Amino acid sequence: MAYPMRVRATLKGDIAEVRVLMNHPMEAGLRRASDGKPVPMHFIQNVTVKLNGKTRIEGETSQALSTNPVFSFRLKDVKAGDRLEIAWLDNQGQQNRTETAIA
Amino acid sequence: MNAVRRAMLQGLAALAASLAVPLRALAAGWNKDAFQSKTPGDALRSLGAAGAADSAEILIDAPQIAENGAVVPIEITSNLPGTRSLAVLIEKNPFPLAGRFEFLDGALPYVKVNVKMGESSNVRVVAEAGGRFYAAVKEVKVTIGGCGG
């Protein structure tokens, strides 16, 4: 799958701080390529954060997010070994998903 | 004229909101109307948040002066009890609504994300808590071409 993600989760007590970097051009559709043709919009529209299969955060995003966006989220009632799943979907139908265990 | 237009827009927004809720329950949605609004007012109406009250319980941590408008870190926290969602609007961007995050059980109403800003602008954060909307604003100056903003 194109555009891998990098996730880092740090647990403090029962609160997990989740940082995720999504490799994505987040093209706003305002730029022109060197051949003068406009670069079409291409950006992440949906971000989902799940813990142990249960949705905790549901995000809708626009082309205004920076290229290769980095998000921080905070989840509570988390313990070591919990399964963290993050997924995104963009306006061109591409998607990616990553799963990691909270350390 | 204006009163009629306002009433119609409010009616449309209410209709959109009533349609959007069951749709979102089925699948991850994307509020096209709100994201494609060209003014902050229209975006807020599409979110159903037109009458948001100011609140000091919404904290916005963003640089006062951002040197690079392509990467402006915005960190938002809501201390309002029962906060369900947070939306970020960059008022002077061509499409003000940058993102909206819904916090289900087990998530703290907090998010940090980098946004693009075309020019110096107010950053407005709208929180939904207990079925009501609250807002806070912070101004971020963007330095363009190193000449000061």
ipTM comes to 0.93
Residue A65 is nearest to which of B94, B107, B114, comparing CB atoms? B114
Which chain B residues have any C-beta within 8 angstroms of a chain A C-beta? 28-31, 35, 70-72, 75, 90, 93-95, 97-108, 110-117
- The CATH classification of domain B2-142, taken from the options 2.40.40.20, 2.60.40.2470, 3.30.1600.10, 3.40.190.290: 2.60.40.2470
Identify each DSSP E strand in chain B by its residue range.
53-54, 58-61, 65-66, 72-78, 83-90, 97-103, 107-115, 121-129, 132-142
A35 to chain B, minimum CA–CA distance in Å?
A: 23
The answer to whether A71 contacts B113, with C-beta atoms less than 8 Å apart, is yes
A11 phi, psi to nearest 5 deg: -100, 125
Are B83 and B127 spatial neighbours (Cβ–Cβ below 8 Å)? yes
Residues B42, B46, B50, B53, CA torsion sign: negative
Residue B15's CB is within 10 A of a number of other CB atoms, namely: 10
Local confidence band at B144 (pLDDT 50, 70, 90 cut-offs): low
User: What average pLDDT score do residues A77-94 get?
Assistant: 95
Nearest to B104 among A15, A56, A78 (CB): A56
Question: How far is residue A17's CA from residue B139's CA, in Å, rounded to a whole number?
Answer: 27
CB A18 within 8 A of CB A73: yes
Quick check: B95 and A90 in contact, CB under 8 A?
no
Domains by residue range for chain A, with CATH = 5-101 (2.60.40.10)
Pick from A66, A71, A77: which is nearest to B116 by CB?
A66
Question: Taking CA atoms, what residue in B is nearest to A89?
Answer: B28
How far apart (Å, rounded) are the C-alpha atoms in residues A77 and A13? 9
| Best residue of B35, B76, B86 to probe chain A, by most A CBs closer than 10 Å | B35
If one compares A59 and B27, the residue with the highest pLDDT of the two is A59
* Measured CA angle at A52 (ends A50, A53), to 5 deg: 60
Residue B67's pLDDT is 87
Instruction: Place B25 in a pLDDT band, splitting at 50, 70 and 90.
Output: very low
Q: Find the CB nearest B30 among A46, A55, A65.
A: A46
How much is the pTM?
0.84
Instruction: Kindly list the residues from chain B whose CB atom is less than 8 angstroms away from the CB atom of residue A21.
Output: none
What does chain A come to in residues?
A: 103
Answer yes or no: are the C-beta atoms of B84 and A34 closer than 8 Å.
no
Q: Find the distance separating the first CA and the last CA of chain A, reported in whole Å.
A: 25
pLDDT category of residue B13 using cuts at 50, 70 and 90: low
Enumerate residues 6+ apart whose C-beta is below 8 A from B22: none
Q: What letter represents residue B21's amino acid?
A: V
Give the nearest chain A residue to B91 (CA atoms).
A64
Interchain CB contact of A77 with B (< 8 Å): yes
Q: Which pLDDT belongs to residue B4?
A: 75
- Give B35's contacts in chain A (Cβ within 8 Å): 60, 62
Inter-chain touch A66–B31, beta carbons under 8 Å: no
